[in-house]
């Protein structure tokens, strides 16, 4: 029988290929059997503590084996996991913990300090487990839960195919993030479809430097590895020199990245001929648009044509350029197995986020086994995310060519994608507007050679009030928001360009800022 939840897949792989290496990290290696034993022990502790199916467990820590053990152990007990971006500050973390009604938070020393401040405002939070993050140092990480030693035997797996596995928070157009609900069935269907498309086999070895708190690293990278019984080397973070060295000398056959990573790898290689990464059979890019120039430079320098693909937290992976067929620059390819895709007029309410879809622009809408059933605890947003006939509105605008390849041509919502992280202007605008001395503010994305887009703010100062300068705005944003959301460009302007209805003309503002900053 096909294993029908992520922990069932792990148990199945560990039983059939116990000695195969699942995970390497800073000199330590975990076979499928040893990793499953760690997960079983953690699941026993969680169950002993009283974690119940349906409970929510948040993970707020960096890329380590402990992250993945905690993840699978929580799933093993039938809980749903809420991954939190480690760059989030107190307010962003607190919102997720409260909104999801998280009972248990697993974090590291740094995260614990930030989480402490949210504890009193999160009544659902029963416990915080702090892992040191150092490999080998987490010998009894779950002891803090006070689970009885009698519960050391792994419990039965409580995860179910249709049970909730992940609540993936995505920045919302309203400024508050929403939790996209994904079941084991959603995640497995996608990992299998992606694996078929990319010919993923047990002998494959992925170099994974993407953060595990996003669907790209977790859903594509880790789930794909697990489902195919393959191996991965995990890095704590992306470092271009370390990645290049690992790709040149290591066992990796696969590498997945955001465009910023490819740009940095090229800079690191400095155009050097002879740095051809011949052992890697597939480079994939996603999470942000890949510039054709980057694609072509990677091909020239590393001898590899990147496969560009498209997805989002709510749907997991949707389309990709073919493994064997032509990989067309500027397109995100064709739908993965099981994904149905259509283009629909964006004027039917899809652009209600206030973007600049324009009449006649076509919104990408999808259906399929990996698509979310909606947002946690938010029936209104869930209803708005689907058309009346049940298609999920991606909020992206696109066109299809004669071969059925999708090109993304814009966004119906005002999203900025900076280095693969999503930033909604409204959240940054609210933060800046709360600063005394600011009369109004508009935030837009400007082109950036490293990040693809960078956050930029145009600020109108109040006539009276305390003085506000650039450093003050940035410091204020960084106190309230993850640092990647703080504007990197700030212009103090006399007024914001508006249309007759009073709506800020973001295109015009962007153009003005491009010429003046
Ligand atoms: C880091 N910084 C950023 C940033 N990342 N600023 C803007 N945008 C970003 N994306 C800032 C930090 O605040 C810090 O500023 C400085 O850069 C150095 O921080 P760092 O932590 O050392 O950064 P670095 O490791 O260089 O990070 C760059 C990066 C990272 C590209 C590796 O951004 C990253 O991992 N991006 C991938 C995101 C991802 O996985 N997205 C998938 C979403 S899922 P200061 O001033 O404090 O020094 C999705 C669906 C799909 O979208 O289809 O995949």
Please give the number of the atom of ligand 1 that sits closest to the Cα of 482.
Answer: 13
User: How many Å apart are CA 421 and CA 424, to the nearest integer?
Assistant: 10
User: How many Å apart are CA 21 and CA 332, to the nearest integer?
Assistant: 32
- Look up tokens 């880790």; give the residue: 222
Q: Where is average pLDDT lowest: 106-115, 151-160, 213-222, 265-274? A: 265-274
**Residue among 87, 221, 258, 474 whose CB has most ligand 1 atoms within 8 A, to mutate:** 258
Please give the number of the atom of ligand 1 that sits closest to the Cα of 288.
Answer: 52
Please give the number of the atom of ligand 1 that sits closest to the Cα of 313.
Answer: 50
Q: Tell me, what's the pLDDT at 144?
A: 72
**Mean pLDDT across 436-452:** 96
User: How many Å apart are CA 332 and CA 364, to the nearest integer?
Assistant: 12
**Secondary-structure class of domain 199-305 per CATH:** alpha beta
Measured at the alpha carbon of residue 195, what is the angle toward residues 193 and 200, in degrees to the nearest 5? 165
Please give the number of the atom of ligand 1 that sits closest to the Cα of 216.
Answer: 54
Judge whether 448 and 489 are in contact, CB under 8 Å: no
309 lines ligand 1 (CB under 6 A): no
128 lines ligand 1 (CB under 6 A): no
**Mean pLDDT across 23-51:** 94
Distance, CA 421 to ligand 1 centroid (Å)? Answer: 6
Q: What is the 8-class DSSP label of residue 151?
A: G
Q: Give me the CATH topology for the region 416-516.
A: GMP Synthetase; Chain A, domain 3 (3.30.300)
Q: Tell me, what's the pLDDT at 215?
A: 98
Q: Tell me, what's the pLDDT at 356?
A: 45
User: How many Å apart are CA 311 and CA 279, to the nearest integer?
Assistant: 26
420 lines ligand 1 (CB under 6 A): yes
Q: Binning pLDDT at 50, 70 and 90, where does residue 358 land?
A: very low
Q: What is the 8-class DSSP label of residue 289?
A: P
Instruction: At 84, give phi and psi (nearest 5°).
Output: -115, 135
- Look up tokens 């401040």; give the residue: 117
Q: Tell me, what's the pLDDT at 172?
A: 67
Interval 55-76: pLDDT, tens:
999 999 999 999 999 999 999 9
Q: By alpha-carbon position, which residue is closest to atom 7 of ligand 1?
A: 484
Q: Tell me, what's the pLDDT at 274?
A: 60
**Mean pLDDT across 44-59:** 96
Please give the number of the atom of ligand 1 that sits closest to the Cα of 419.
Answer: 10
Query: Residues 444, 448, 361, 179: is their CA dihedral positive or negative?
Result: negative
Q: By alpha-carbon position, which residue is closest to atom 3 of ligand 1?
A: 484
Q: Binning pLDDT at 50, 70 and 90, where does residue 407 land?
A: very high
Q: What's the CATH number of domain 6-160, 3.30.1340.30, 3.10.110.10, 3.40.50.980, 3.40.50.720?
A: 3.40.50.980
**Residue among 484, 486, 487, 488 whose CB has most ligand 1 atoms within 8 A, to mutate:** 484
311 lines ligand 1 (CB under 6 A): yes
User: How many Å apart are CA 152 and CA 148, to the nearest integer?
Assistant: 8
Judge whether 18 and 35 are in contact, CB under 8 Å: no
Strands (E), 61-204: 80-83, 104-108, 127-131, 164-170, 178-183
Q: Binning pLDDT at 50, 70 and 90, where does residue 345 land?
A: confident
Q: What is the pTM of this model?
A: 0.95
Question: CA gyration radius for the chain?
Answer: 23
Q: By alpha-carbon position, which residue is closest to atom 16 of ligand 1?
A: 484
Q: Which two tokens stand for residue 218?
A: 């977790």
216 lines ligand 1 (CB under 6 A): yes
Q: Binning pLDDT at 50, 70 and 90, where does residue 132 land?
A: confident
Q: Where are the domains of the chain?
A: 6-160, 199-305, 416-516
**Residue among 220, 255, 421 whose CB has most ligand 1 atoms within 8 A, to mutate:** 421
**Residue among 212, 420, 474 whose CB has most ligand 1 atoms within 8 A, to mutate:** 420
Q: Tell me, what's the pLDDT at 146?
A: 72
Instruction: At 418, give phi and psi (nearest 5°).
Output: -115, 110
Query: Residues 199, 202, 207, 210: is their CA dihedral positive or negative?
Result: positive
213 lines ligand 1 (CB under 6 A): no
256 lines ligand 1 (CB under 6 A): no
**Mean pLDDT across 297-301:** 94
**Residue among 419, 455, 456 whose CB has most ligand 1 atoms within 8 A, to mutate:** 419
User: How many Å apart are CA 10 and CA 225, to the nearest integer?
Assistant: 11
Same fold, 6-160 and 199-305: yes
Taking alpha carbons only, the member of 361, 364, 434, 362 closest to residue 393 is: 364
Distance, CA 484 to ligand 1 centroid (Å)? Answer: 7
Judge whether 86 and 62 are in contact, CB under 8 Å: yes
User: What share of the chain in percent tops pLDDT 70?
Assistant: 93
Judge whether 312 and 341 are in contact, CB under 8 Å: no
């Amino acid at each position: 029988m096909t294993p029908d939840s992520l922990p069932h897949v792990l148990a199945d792989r560990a039983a059939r290929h116990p000695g195969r290496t699942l995970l390497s990290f800073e000199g330590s290696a975990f076979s499928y059997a040893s990793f499953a034993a760690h997960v079983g022990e953690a699941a026993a502790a969680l169950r002993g503590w009283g974690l119940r199916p349906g409970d929510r467990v948040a993970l707020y820590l960096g890329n380590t084996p402990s992250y993945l053990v905690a993840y699978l152990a929580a799933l093993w007990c039938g809980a749903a996991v809420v991954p939190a971006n480690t760059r989030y500050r107190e307010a962003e973390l607190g919102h997720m913990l409260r909104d999801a009604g998280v009972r248990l938070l697993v974090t590291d020393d740094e995260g614990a300090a930030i989480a402490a401040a949210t504890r009193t405002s999160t009544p659902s939070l029963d416990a915080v487990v702090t892992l040191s993050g150092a490999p080998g140092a987490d010998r009894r990480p779950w002891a803090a839960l006070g689970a009885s030693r009698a519960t050391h035997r792994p419990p039965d797996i409580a995860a179910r195919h249709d049970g909730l596995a992940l609540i993936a928070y995505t920045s919302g157009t309203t400024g508050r993030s929403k939790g996209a609900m994904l079941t084991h069935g959603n995640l497995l269907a996608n990992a299998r479809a992606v694996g078929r498309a990319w010919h993923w086999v047990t002998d494959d070895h992925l170099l994974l430097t993407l953060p595990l708190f996003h669907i790209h690293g977790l859903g594509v990278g880790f789930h794909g590895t697990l489902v195919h019984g393959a191996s991965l080397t995990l890095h704590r973070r992306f470092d271009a020199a370390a990645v290049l060295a690992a790709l040149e000398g290591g066992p990796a056959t696969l590498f997945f990245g955001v465009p910023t990573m490819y740009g940095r790898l090229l800079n690191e290689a400095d155009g050097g001929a002879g740095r051809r990464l011949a052992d890697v059979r597939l480079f994939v890019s996603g999470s942000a648009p890949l510039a054709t120039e980057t694609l072509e430079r990677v091909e020239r320098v590393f001898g590899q044509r990147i496969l560009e693909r498209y997805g989002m937290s709510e749907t997991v992976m949707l389309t990709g350029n073919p493994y064997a067929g032509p990989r067309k620059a500027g397109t995100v390819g064709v739908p993965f197995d099981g994904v149905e895709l259509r283009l629909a007029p964006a004027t039917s309410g899809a652009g209600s986020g206030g973007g600049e879809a324009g009449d006649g622009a076509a919104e990408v809408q999808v259906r399929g086994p990996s698509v979310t059933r909606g947002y946690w605890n938010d029936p209104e947003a869930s209803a708005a995310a689907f058309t009346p006939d049940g298609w999920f509105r991606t909020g992206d605008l696109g066109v299809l060519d004669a071969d059925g390849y999708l090109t993304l041509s814009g966004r119906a919502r005002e999203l900025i994608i900076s280095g693969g992280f999503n930033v909604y202007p409204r959240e940054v605008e609210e933060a800046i507007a709360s600063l005394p001395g600011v009369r109004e503010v508009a935030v837009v994305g400007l082109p950036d050679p490293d990040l693809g887009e960078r956050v930029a703010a145009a600020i109108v100062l109040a006539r009276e009030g305390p003085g506000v300068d650039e450093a003050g705005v940035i410091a204020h944003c960084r106190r309230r928001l993850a640092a990647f959301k703080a504007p990197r460009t700030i212009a103090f302007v006399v007024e914001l360009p508006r249309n007759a209805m009073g709506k800020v003309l973001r295109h015009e503002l962007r153009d003005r800022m491009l010429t003046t900053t």
